[in-house]
Amino acid sequence: MKITDDIHYIGVDDHEIDLFEGQYVVENGMAYNSYVIPDDKIAVMDTVDAHFGGKWLQNLKQTIGDRTPDYLIVQHMEPDHSANIDAFAKTYPDAVIVASAPAFTMMKQFFGSDYADRRQVIKEGDTLALGAHTLQFVGAPMVHWPEVMVTYDSHDKVLFSADGFGKFGALDTDEDWACEARRYYFGIVGKYGMQVQNLLKKAAALDIQMICPLHGPILKENLEYYVNLYQTWSSYGVESEGIMIAYTSVYGHTKAAVELLAEKLTAKGCPKVVVADLAREDMAECVEDAFRYGKLVLATTTYNTDIFPFMREFISDLTERGYQNRTIALIENGSWAPTAAKVMRARLESCKNITFAEHTVQIKSALNGESRAQIEALAEELTQ
């Protein structure tokens, strides 16, 4: 498929995969994007996952016919994009491999060769002339691996953005971009907000009319919308007004407290209340919502003098990704020695710019008049 008059898409859709990176549910599959620019010289942009090497090489052959690629540009060495470098090298022995120095180190690790006899090492600001097209390389270290370079084509004003602006889902599925791009971002890239900010600053100096990521659809219209979302996500800002309540419950009493709080928040005018049972819902979806909204309520039981395992995992996922700039409220339940609120607060100490709600709800076994009044007070505080 043609992206522009000169740039062609040669990637593949994967509907066989169930877990991306061994952990993220992808009900609508995954796209592994690759592109080719047939100019005076031919440049291929990245490869695809190992399971689709034959299909990818066939797509390339159908696009360029009897011509031979001059360059394979490797922007990112994660195997879902780099697995077919060696297959390409053997199919086209005269082609030059173009990548950053750290990428060639990784090639040696993956393939046993760093292609020293046919490589071109690139760094920030280097260019590669293909004919009408000139490619400019922009360093993007730790977005989200250290070797990453992105590429700008000044002729068609296209940014090849590596994993930036990617999303879950194959290209032949129709779904909301922001939902799956947000889950992808916070699951995979979210820890590296500062590095994404650095890349966005560099990209702002380029005249970009199209973004070609390594996952998800090519972005051609309303680019400001996508860039603004990335600005919000990478600066850990609040995307949507609302409150997320994340909970675990053993016998239903903590769940009852959460449901009561959600009811009161809605009655008091909260624009959006999202409730998530951490034991039953996709953890990546829960992490996504915690970063989306400005306020978070954590409700769990004291468990083996700690907190319930799913809540422990959830908080770990948040802190690992640099959770910050939020208001957090705590609800604890315990039949004889409730300490969950204290434990949760301690686990969140590393988070920056966190404001804890004044009111903490304590349930002893089941709701009573006192804990109901605490929920009323918390709902009032959170909606002021």
Q: Which phi-psi region, left, alpha or beta, contains residue 296 (left: φ > 0; alpha: ψ -120 to 50)?
A: beta
Helices (H), 92-192: 101-111, 177-184
The reported pLDDT for the residue numbered 98 is 98
Q: How far apart are CA 138 and CA 76, in angstroms?
A: 12
Which residue numbers in the chain have pLDDT < 50? none
Ordered domains of the chain (ranges, CATH): 8-234 (3.60.15.10), 240-382 (3.40.50.360)
Contact between 33 and 213 (Cβ < 8 Å): yes
Q: What is the pLDDT of residue 375?
A: 98
pLDDT at 247 (0 to 100): 98
What was the pLDDT predicted at 305? 87
The tens digit of pLDDT for each residue in 281-291 reads: 999 999 999 99
With beta carbons less than 8 A apart as the criterion, state whether 355 and 294 touch.
Answer: no
240-282 residue pLDDT tens: 999 999 999 999 999 999 999 999 999 999 999 999 999 999 9
For the chain, the helix, strand and coil percentages under 3-state DSSP, each to the nearest 5: 35, 25, 40
| pLDDT for position 151 | 98
> Which neighbouring-strand residues pair with 44?
36, 72
Please state, as a whole number, how many other Cβ atoms lie within 10 Å of the Cβ of residue 54.
11
The position carrying tokens 């959460």 is: 258
Question: Residue 163 and residue 94: Cα distance in Å, rounded?
Answer: 28
- Residue 274: its pLDDT value, please? 98
Residues in the chain, total: 384
